[in-house]
A and B are shown apart, each in its own frame.
Chain A
């Protein structure tokens, strides 16, 4: 019996090239840090953590972010968004980040 069923051993993690933008002047990324390769299965929470991290915005206390992709909020993984919209991991995705209006206590559910 295959003990590794449902767990593809060598499934390659897809990467997506994202371009972060924002309209908030106080939250701009330094030049040269706006593009990043992220794992395709990343969701809002992961992206928010990435943006807060030392090598990105380097915030002193984490700011929860929401992400707009082609005008609507990202509520699935990037991978699922691309699939649902007939796109592939070959595309560079522009993500506009805004301060999340959702109370931080619920953020883990996204």
Chain B
């Protein structure tokens, strides 16, 4: 099937990416642990302490059932409440990594790969479901299939082999289309049992730059994703603190030119039309666990309310 990468794809040297994976993993280990413990609280529903329902036996009487019970000559005898058992959740999480040149020309690319290692390690330790990795730029490619295990260094190094930051366009509209499509397929192929609740979550790691003209089209696709219960979080890699990028302005302050009809020229903040509702701006890797956990906590609170 699709476990092979596109035939034309150039791969980085395996030994080199193995070394890179190992080094990133040890560097980010404390952050992975921190993210794991924060996500455990958010992704796995807490033990329900509420008593509810109507049963023949149970923990406490359901007062509302008493009068119907007596009125029915003690026939309607499901008068007890029990502790509700939360539904087991399983997840399909797609990590989408920007493989375009703009990532390689700044240190955002390295930050994205470090983040990929850190987040994927945290998710693997959590054991909440399947993890996929998608690369994107002018095209998209699956760097790791949902169905493949992601526990070894080997799997990780193979993923890193596919990221060269050579794609000369950043088509986030295509990325969202592909994300929806991959999740549709993954839902059909999901091994989770009927009693389990399947959640689909995409995390995009990118410098955030895609033509402003596409923002409105992306917004339409994001609504489609939301209707299919696919959650998409955009993590903007904004590594402007490092030496290599010291002349690079943060995306937060970046403006775009707009030529108005009447010969007037205006500048507007690029992020003003950024279509993603759930996004984070990460300057340092250390910020990511807390920020990501905070965002997911907000999202789950909104969904559950």
The chain A residues found within 8 Å of chain B, CB to CB, are 12-15, 17, 19, 32, 34-39, 42, 46, 49-50, 53-56, 88-92
Contact = CB atoms under 8 A, between A and B. Distances in A.
Given A19-B247, A92-B102, 9 more contacts: A13-B212, A15-B211, A15-B213, A15-B256, A17-B102, A36-B256, A37-B256, A53-B266, A90-B101
Contacts, number: 71
A37 B248 CA distance: 13
B257 A38 contact: yes
B267 A36 contact: yes
Chain A to chain B: the 10 pairs with minimum beta-carbon distance, closest first: A88-B168, A90-B101, A37-B256, A53-B265, A55-B267, A35-B249, A90-B102, A13-B213, A12-B213, A38-B257
B255 A90 contact: no
Contacts of A37: 212, 254-257, 270
Interface string B220-260: 00000000000000000000000000011100011111010
Contacts of A17: 102, 209, 254
Q: Is the interface of B mostly helix, strand, loop or mixed?
A: mixed
A32 B256 contact: no
A51 B255 CA distance: 13
A32 to B, nearest CB: 6
Contact of A32 (B169, B170, B248, B253): B253
B129 to A, nearest CB: 34
B105 interface: yes
Interface in B92-114: 100-102, 105
A21 B249 CA distance: 13
B295 interface: no
B211 A36 contact: no
Given A88-B168, A89-B169, A92-B105, A50 B213 contact: no
15 contacts: A12-B213, A15-B211, A15-B212, A17-B102, A32-B253, A34-B249, A35-B248, A36-B257, A37-B256, A39-B259, A49-B265, A50-B265, A53-B267, A54-B265, A90-B100
Nearest to A53: B265
Contacts of B267: 36, 53, 55-56
Nearest to B255: A36
A98 to B, nearest CB: 19
A39 B254 contact: no
Contact of B249 (A32, A38, A53, A56): A32
Nearest to A90: B101
A37 to B, nearest CB: 4
A42 B167 CA distance: 23
Given A37-B270, A53-B265, A88 B254 contact: no
A64 B6 CA distance: 49
Most central of B101, B253, B256, B257 by chain A CB within 10 Å: B257
